[in-house]
Amino acid sequence: MLTKIKSIHLSKKRLCFIWVIIIISSFESSPLYPESLEYKIKASYLEKFTRFIEWPSNTFEDHNNPFIITVIGKNPFKNILDIMYSKIKIMNRNAETRYISNIEEINETHLLFISTVNKQRFNQILSRVKNKPILIVSDVKGYAKKGVHINFYTTKSKTIRFEINETAVRESGLKMSYLLLRLGKIIK
């Protein structure tokens, strides 16, 4: 009986956490909200994106390997990703966050967030991951047109939205659900 009560309590706790994420993601990004809230929202979106992406079957050969989220360039998330993803699983896997500066370290990632980098470095990063099953996300204006799969932007009403480069996603070997495609602004 006690075990049953504990599992119900954990389920309620998990449900509460999910509602908090949903509520946070509905906030607008405006001067009233600090930058950290903006990146909390974006961090929660990263996990939500993975629910609508299908990686090739050989991507996760070992069930014990973690789902790896990598940030390259300046880290705008601070410790938000570490805190958020230490408690939840992505695709039934523990999540691991990495912050890198060396392009060679990208190979083992499943989701790559490219922060602000100079044009030459951006081109090097993109050529390194092009046509690989790595979901590429950013929030730098114009990056979706240059080949990033999903790029955050802020509307005039200060709401966080995202655009999708459907061609780049297809070329990577990833399959994106039409539900996600309907929510994003498609970039050609």
pLDDT value for 107: 81
pLDDT value for 69: 97
As a whole number of angstroms, the distance between CA 10 and CA 5 comes to 9
pLDDT value for 27: 44
Decide: 17 and 147 in contact? Cβ < 8 Å: no
pLDDT value for 16: 42
CA angle 60, 61, 65 (to 5 degrees): 65
Give residue 157's domain range. 2-187
Number of domains in the chain: 1
Burial label for 141, CB within 10 Å (0-12, 13-18, 19+), is exposed
pLDDT value for 156: 92
Residue 116: closest CA among 81, 170, 165, 152: 152
pLDDT value for 185: 95
pLDDT digits (tens, 9 = 90+) for 79-95: 999 999 998 899 989 99
Q: Return the CATH number at 183.
A: 3.40.50.2300
pLDDT value for 57: 87
pLDDT value for 14: 52
Burial label for 94, CB within 10 Å (0-12, 13-18, 19+), is middle
As a whole number of angstroms, the distance between CA 188 and CA 179 comes to 18
pLDDT value for 31: 44
**Per-residue confidence in pLDDT tens, the chain, 188 aa:** 444 444 444 455 454 444 444 444 444 433 444 567 899 999 999 999 999 999 998 888 788 899 999 999 999 999 999 999 998 899 989 999 999 998 988 988 999 999 988 999 999 999 999 889 999 999 999 999 999 999 999 999 989 999 999 999 999 999 999 999 999 999 97
Q: How far is CA 170 from the centre of its chain?
A: 17
